[in-house]
Amino acid sequence: MPDYLVRLVQVHESFRKTELQSLADLNRVEIEFVKYAEDSPFCIVRLSDDAAARSVITRNILSYGIYELWGQGVDYDSLHASVKQMSPQIWAQYHKSPFRFTMDSYRGSRSMLEQFPIIESFAYLDFKGPVRVRDAEASFTIFEDYEHNGPSPKYLYLGRFVAASGRQAKTTYDLKKRHYISTTSMDAELALLTANIALAAPGKFFYDPFMGTGGFPLACAHYGAVVCGSDIDGRSIRGTGGSARRGQTGKKDVAMNFVQYGLQSRYLGGFVSDLTNTPLRIPTVESGAGYLDGIVCDPPYGIREGLKVLGHREKLEDFERQTHQDRFKEAGYIPPKRPYSFTAIQDDILAFASDTLVEGGRLSMWMPTANDEDVELVIPMHPCLELLSTCVQPFNKWSRRLLTYRRLPESEVSKDAMEYAKKEYEQGVKASELNDFRRKYFEGFREFEKSRQEGATSENFSEAKGLRGINKGNCSCN
Amino acid sequence: MKLLTLNFLTCAIKTCKSSPLSFPLHPREVELEILETDYNAVFLRNILPRLEWEALRVLAGELGLPSLPESSPDVSSLSTSSEEDDSETPTQVAQDLHRLLLETCIKEGKLVCGCCGHEYAVKEGVANFLLPGHLV
Ligand SMILES: C[S@@+](CC[C@H](N)C(=O)[O-])C[C@H]1O[C@@H](n2cnc3c(N)ncnc32)[C@H](O)[C@@H]1O
Ligand SMILES: [Zn+2]
């Protein structure tokens, strides 16, 4: 199998391999990572052919493109030697093709004047076709990898261009140009990435139980899935809660976001509901298997994002119950809500996913964590779900993780694990053990909350702002 | 909300969920709307085996829409392929299903649970499943 060079972007590093692997899984192609490092934008993978390479990259968000690797080395001498050793059997294929050469210097730069002799030094490839800046049949790039401020490149590659990535979608879906957003709208790049990792694709059915302004369902619909979503806050779906964008007035809602991108035919609709009292049908052994191909979500964090579920803080007196019963049909009636535990909602999401996903379906869920060494990181688990990947987006004192699980086929679910999980709940071990974790956990967020309130002065705030499109002011989904 | 959604929705009250009466929810006083959409062959093929067919028949009946065959059509009956150019043409069954599931939308109205009688309102196409205080 030939080697290919993936020219990655140097952001969201820990998501890059997972995204490539997911897109390989989606297209059912084998991918082998030959060379990969978190601190490098050059990754070498082994794939069966150009078609496989194309299928893995055309939707990819965290790369620019993929190239057939023709050679590599620590300097130009060793690069040329490598090219002469690795690829001479394929040179002839491009003997008469219109072609072009470009250079891509990572953390370095080359003037036109410098580039010319470098490109000339590959004359032994003996290409006789015309040079074309546009529509070249064969396009070659010389990649240079520099140390930070390094005088000369530390490593070089020569690649033949195979396919460009799908990174331009990040611009298309940019929150700055989105019709309707809120303070917790997921950044477009991360939403698209999540949809890729969850394997959203034509023919599939995806759901977001915490849809807010619909960032994830939009991203999934972009990749061809039919989607729906829900949120406990009806104003976020109907758009009557006010917009996060200054000066934004007039009717704005999630449905219009779908119209903006021409995706309304894939939007089943949004409904108002609490995940812990979901109206979605829960298949039982008799009623058959799950029906969702994927669930993608960013659950509320529990402080200002208003993690609430339906219910009462204290047990209702009879007369209070009666008041609800008498009043609930009145306009403006607000169903009572109570605060809820962050870890409990995660367990609820996993249980829901296990019930409703088709076998092999994926759950991709964001989870914030405090970067505190004393806090043991608890990754929620479920016997029917296999944890596939954990990607981390670090901030100062906290980080966000994207956890991705696969619904195991019934035949692979361990019966012992099922029994064990049941017991754990019955004995209440889980909740009490996690108390300390929870406390520390939320302490870690104060910084984030504070920076949000204070405005754009702190460095951490601008970081958060860049990533989530946060504006000053109150969260609209409380 | 597109009608397909109703094939996955039941009563939000936990004790109703186990009763067969809670599914499907019954539309009342609804205003329907047709939003034309691109025919989605691959989705229809995948979703058909996951549908609760009987519930769909009940729904079509209650909405006064053309009635559906007694049992779910086979996935293979959704298209006919032409010998010449490999192209696939949706059959009438497939077109009808597409219209019902993906083009017919509930704009306003109520969805009623057949078990407890609770009514869920649909406004501007958005159904509200939040339970009032005495039901949680
Ligand atoms: C972090 S935001 C998600 C934002 C969304 N990803 C977007 O791009 O707009 C979390 C959402 O969960 C909702 N939420 C809070 N508690 C909920 C519950 N119990 N059930 C369903 N949604 C809930 C909030 O109203 C909020 O819109
Ligand atoms: Zn009911």
pLDDT along chain B (136 residues), means of 10: 98 94 97 95 96 96 94 92 80 94 98 97 96 93
Q: Which CATH class for the B3-127 domain?
A: mainly beta
CA-nearest residue for atom 23, ligand 1, is A232
Strands A42-46 and A32-35: antiparallel
Determine whether A128 is exposed, middle or buried from the number of CB atoms within 10 Å of its CB (0-12, 13-18, 19+). Answer: exposed
Reduced to 3 states, what is the DSSP secondary structure of residue A45? strand
Q: How far does the CA of residue A405 sit from the closest CA of chain B (Å)?
A: 22
Give the model's pLDDT for residue A427: 44
Classify burial at A118, counting beta carbons within 10 Å of its beta carbon; exposed 0-12, middle 13-18, buried 19 or more: middle
Euclidean distance between CA atoms B131 and A199, whole angstroms? 33
For residue A466, what pLDDT is reported?
32
B89 at interface of A, judged by CB pairs closer than 8 A: no
Domains and CATH numbers, chain A: 3-165 (3.30.2130.30), 171-436 (3.40.50.150)
Q: Do A312 and B46 touch (CB under 8 A)?
A: no
Domain regions of chain B by residue span? 3-127
Cα distances (Å, whole numbers) of residue B133 to A277, A321, A345, B120: 13, 7, 20, 14
- Amino acid (one-letter) located at B42: V
Please report the atom of ligand 1 found closest to the CA of residue A231: 22
- Among the listed residues A345, A373, A370, the one whose alpha carbon sits nearest the alpha carbon of residue A446: A370
* pLDDT tens per residue across span A326-384: 999 998 899 999 988 888 899 999 999 999 999 999 999 999 877 766 666 789 999 99
Mean pLDDT computed over A17-21: 98
Could you tell me if A279 and A158 are in contact, meaning their C-beta atoms sit under 8 angstroms apart?
A: no
B120 touching A, CB under 8 A?
yes
pLDDT digits (tens, 9 = 90+) for A128-161: 999 999 989 999 999 999 999 899 999 999 999 9
pTM for the model: 0.91
Contact A277, B14 (CB under 8 A): yes
**pLDDT per position as a tens digit, A405-414:** 999 998 999 8
- With contact defined as beta carbons under 8 Å apart, do B7 and B47 qualify? no
Dihedral angle sign, alpha carbons of residues A411, A225, A61, A295: negative
Confidence check: pLDDT of A434 > 90: no
Burial of A76 (0-12, 13-18, 19+ CB in 10 A): middle
Q: Which two tokens stand for residue A250?
A: 């007039």
Contacts of A205 in chain B (CB under 8 A): 43, 46-47, 50
Name the average pLDDT for chain A.
86
Number of Cβ within 10 Å of residue A262's Cβ equals 11
Tell me which range, A186-190, A313-317, A341-345, A466-470, is most confidently predicted by mean pLDDT: A186-190
C-alpha distances in Å from residue A343, one per residue of A193, A381, A436, B97:
24, 11, 12, 41
Which of A203, A205, A272 comes nearest B130 by C-beta? A272
Identity of the residue numbered A294: G
Report the pLDDT value the prediction gives residue A303, as an integer from 0 to 100. 53
Name residues whose C-beta falls within 8 Å of residue A123's C-beta, 6 or more positions apart in sequence: none
Handedness of CA A383, A384, A386, A387 (dihedral sign): negative
Place of tokens 């999401």: A349
State yes or no: pLDDT of A465 exceeds 70. no
* A255 exposure class (CB count in 10 Å sphere: 0-12, 13-18, 19+): buried
- Distances in Å between the Cα of B72 and the Cα atoms of A110, A250, A416, B79 are 65, 44, 37, 15
Contacts of B101 in chain A (CB under 8 A): none
In the numeric block, which tokens belong to residue A239? 């758009």
Cα A431 from Cα A411, distance rounded (Å): 30
- Say if the Cβ atoms of A310 and B129 lie within 8 Å: no
**In B, which residues are within 8 Å of A324 by CB distance?**
132-134
According to the model, what pLDDT value does residue A300 have?
87
C-alpha–C-alpha distance, residues A418 and A290, integer Å: 18
Q: Which residue has its alpha carbon closest to ligand 1 atom 4?
A: A212
Distance A299 CA to ligand 1 centre (A): 6
